Amino acid sequence: MGNTVPSLFAAIVGRDPSLPLLTFYDDATGERAELSGATLGNWVSKTANLLVDGCGLGPGDTAGVWLPPHWQTAAVLLGAWSAGVTVAYGEPTAAGIDVEFASAQAVEAGVPAGPPDRFVLGLAPMGMPMRTPPAGWADYVTSARQHGDHFPGAPVAADTGALVETDGSLDGHGPLLDRARARAAELGISGGRVLIDADAYPYPLDWLLAPLAAGASVVLSVRTDLSKLPARGTSEQVDHTVGPTV
């Protein structure tokens, strides 16, 4: 399945690009968004092209990501890793950051603004852009849509920096995927279709990388009404649920 995140993602999408790969639920708004492998792949490519062509970034550069579990967060993370850009997820400082992605709520709360390239995500239903981004920030949706659906960048190596951990250590793609496979086993994810309550498992290793490492399709639920999970699992033909009781 590959020893880097982009090669793993390409292998999963390549099995059947038309199949649902990530289905997103927000019980606070009633939103449901279903992305096939091809559709998510388009967003990933647009994000990678935005970083490489729009920002001039690549291996050795770092993206600060202050985003909650969301399908657009998946596109940002996978796009950064496809471009060879290291991700610092939820870090409290902008030191050493070359580009930033933050939710509107994080910007309002005062996320540290460091580099000149800063993208805000409104995380609105239907992938709608923000009408009026905060001063000093560009709207991610508008910016990404200006770039192509195919990313022709050079392959990423297994030892390319992938994720800065909360203790400051750096995982390359190979070690990160090893951790993701181990985490998938811990969570009981072995493929098929998995429903994940991201309120209980908000870290991307759990809701994004572990399922991908196991070759699974994800049903991602946020601000979850727990009473809806059993029916959701049935309607989405889920094979396994990762929730508060796991």
* Per-residue pLDDT at 112: 86
pLDDT of residue 116: 94
pLDDT of residue 1: 65
Q: How far apart are CA 65 and CA 47, in angstroms?
A: 13
Q: How many CB atoms lie within 10 A of CB 245?
A: 9
Q: Would you write out the chain's pLDDT as a tens digit for each of its 246 residues? A: 679 999 999 999 999 999 999 999 999 999 999 999 999 999 999 999 999 999 999 999 999 999 999 999 999 999 999 999 999 998 767 778 999 999 999 999 998 888 999 999 999 998 999 999 999 999 999 999 999 999 998 889 999 999 998 778 899 999 999 999 999 999 999 999 999 999 999 999 999 999 999 999 999 999 999 999 999 999 999 999 998 765
Residues facing residue 4 across a β-bridge: none
Q: Residue 223 has what DSSP assignment?
A: S
Residue 234 burial (CB < 10 Å; 0-12/13-18/19+)? exposed
Collapse the DSSP code of 140 into the 3-class scheme (helix H, G, I; strand E, B; otherwise coil) and give the result.
helix
Of 163, 113, 115, 124, nearest to 24 by C-alpha is: 124
Tell me if 102 sits within 8 A of 66, measured CB to CB: yes
- What CA–CA distance (Å, rounded) separates 128 from 110? 23
Which residue has tokens 């933050």?
Answer: 102
For the chain, list the domains and their CATH numbers. Answer: 5-242 (3.40.50.12780)
Residues 235, 213 contacting (CB under 8 angstroms): no
